[in-house]
């Protein structure tokens, strides 16, 4: 699979990340086959979070991949912390305790990347800075990032945190593309012109922060997938047409649409179906034309001024 640089780090990563939120839906033998098949395809970047399955997803993954020193050198592990029941918590104590739990469950001594999972309204960035310093100096975490944060929130964090923010996980799909549409409809009096995220797309590009799109096949907030949905007939017709041209699946084209954007994003794929994951990986070999990219954008109901 094609690779890319993660943010401003020296970490070379696959352009498609394997999301492990649903790995607890697999039987042990199925999980083993899935992770091994992913590795064979070059998909060695695995995204976790301490809340996925209440921590069981990290445990299942570690068992499925038969974690040892040799395996650890061949994979890239990212996890997230900060979500607690009914609240968010970026306190120093919670971050440090969370990372210790993550490492124990993953059976490893370090994370390649730690993300703060969604914004905490009560964040004290000085505490985050202390936690990051301790995690870095101890060797427990090598790189740091955030999730669903806007530019001002990241800038506030960076005022105190000395480590570069290398990634920002944000919801993005063909049908959930407000971070793109607001930039296209600048100065227009329409719904698409509303800037909902402080121009986070441009901010991340300017500051060498890799955007990791999550739910790249979903519309709304986990309302369903747009591929094959009767709610998006024109979009599916267009995707099918372009998929036929390249002789690939419509899944491949949906990911190729994201990868075509010059921001060099790294979509996080949540499927536990190996065939579908292979389709996503195949997207790294396809570069849509400008005409194809815009035709898909418009077919989803997005407008051009």
pLDDT in tens, 6-51: 999 999 999 999 999 999 999 999 999 999 999 999 999 999 999 9
- Evaluate whether residue 295 is within a structural domain: no
Q: Flag whether pLDDT at 263 surpasses 90.
A: yes
- Evaluate whether residue 72 is within a structural domain: yes
Catalytic residue numbers, as ranges? 52
Range of the domain at 77: 3-223+260-270
- Evaluate whether residue 252 is within a structural domain: no
Q: Flag whether pLDDT at 72 surpasses 90.
A: yes
- pLDDT band for 200, please (50, 70, 90 cuts): very high
pLDDT in tens, 28-39: 999 999 999 999
- Evaluate whether residue 89 is within a structural domain: yes
Give percent above pLDDT 90 in the chain.
99
Q: What CATH number is associated with residue 14? A: 3.20.20.100
Q: Flag whether pLDDT at 3 surpasses 90.
A: yes
- Evaluate whether residue 255 is within a structural domain: no
- Evaluate whether residue 275 is within a structural domain: no
- Evaluate whether residue 137 is within a structural domain: yes
- Evaluate whether residue 237 is within a structural domain: no
Q: Flag whether pLDDT at 221 surpasses 90.
A: no
Number of structural domains found in the chain: 1
Average pLDDT in the 101-126 region? 98
pLDDT number for residue 220:
87
Average pLDDT in the 147-151 region? 98
Give me the DSSP letters along the chain: --EEE-TTSS-EEESSEEE-TTGGGS-HHHHHHHHHHHHHTT--EEE--TTGGGGHHHHHHHHHTT--HHHHTT-EEEEEE-EETTEE---HHHHHHHHHHHHHHHT-S-EEEEEE-S--TT--HHHHHHHHHHHHHTTSEEEEEEES--HHHHHHHHHH--S-EEEEEEE--SSS-HHHHHHHTTT-SSGGG--SSSSHHHHHHHTT-EEEEE-TTEETTTTEESTT-TT-HHHHHHHHHHHHHHTS-HHHHHHHHHHTSTT---PEE----HHHHHHHHHGGG----HHHHHHHHHHTT----
Whole-number average pLDDT of the chain: 97
- pLDDT band for 222, please (50, 70, 90 cuts): confident
């Amino acid at each position: 699979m094609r690779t890319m640089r993660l943010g401003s780090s020296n970490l070379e990563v696959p352009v498609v990340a394997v999301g492990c939120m649903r790995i607890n839906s697999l039987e042990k033998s199925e999980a083993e086959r899935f992770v091994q098949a992913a590795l064979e395809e070059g998909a060695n970047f695995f995204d976790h979070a301490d809340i996925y399955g209440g921590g069981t997803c990290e445990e299942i993954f570690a068992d499925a991949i038969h974690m040892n020193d040799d395996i650890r050198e061949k994979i890239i592990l990212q996890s997230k912390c900060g979500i607690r029941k009914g609240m968010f918590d970026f306190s120093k104590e919670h971050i440090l305790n969370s990372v210790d739990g993550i490492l124990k469950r993953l059976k490893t001594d370090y994370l390649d990347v730690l993300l703060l999972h969604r914004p905490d309204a009560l964040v004290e960035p000085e505490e985050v800075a202390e936690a990051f310093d301790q995690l870095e100096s101890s060797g427990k975490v090598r790189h740091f990032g955030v999730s669903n944060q806007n530019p001002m929130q990241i800038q506030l964090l960076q005022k105190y945190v000395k480590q570069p923010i290398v990634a920002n996980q944000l919801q993005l799909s063909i049908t959930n593309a407000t971070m793109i549409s607001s930039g296209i409809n600048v100065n227009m009096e329409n719904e698409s012109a509303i800037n909902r995220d402080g121009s986070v797309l441009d901010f991340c590009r300017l500051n060498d922060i890799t955007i990791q799109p999550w739910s790249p096949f979903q519309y709304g907030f986990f309302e369903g997938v747009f591929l094959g949905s009767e709610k998006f007939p024109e979009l599916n017709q267009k995707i099918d047409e372009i998929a036929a041209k390249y002789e690939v699946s419509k899944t491949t084209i949906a990911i190729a649409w994201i990868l075509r954007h010059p921001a060099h994003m790294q979509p996080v794929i949540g499927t536990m179906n190996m065939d579908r994951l292979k389709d996503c990986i195949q997207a790294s070999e396809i570069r849509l034309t400008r005409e194809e990219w815009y035709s898909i954008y418009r077919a989803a109901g997005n407008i051009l001024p």
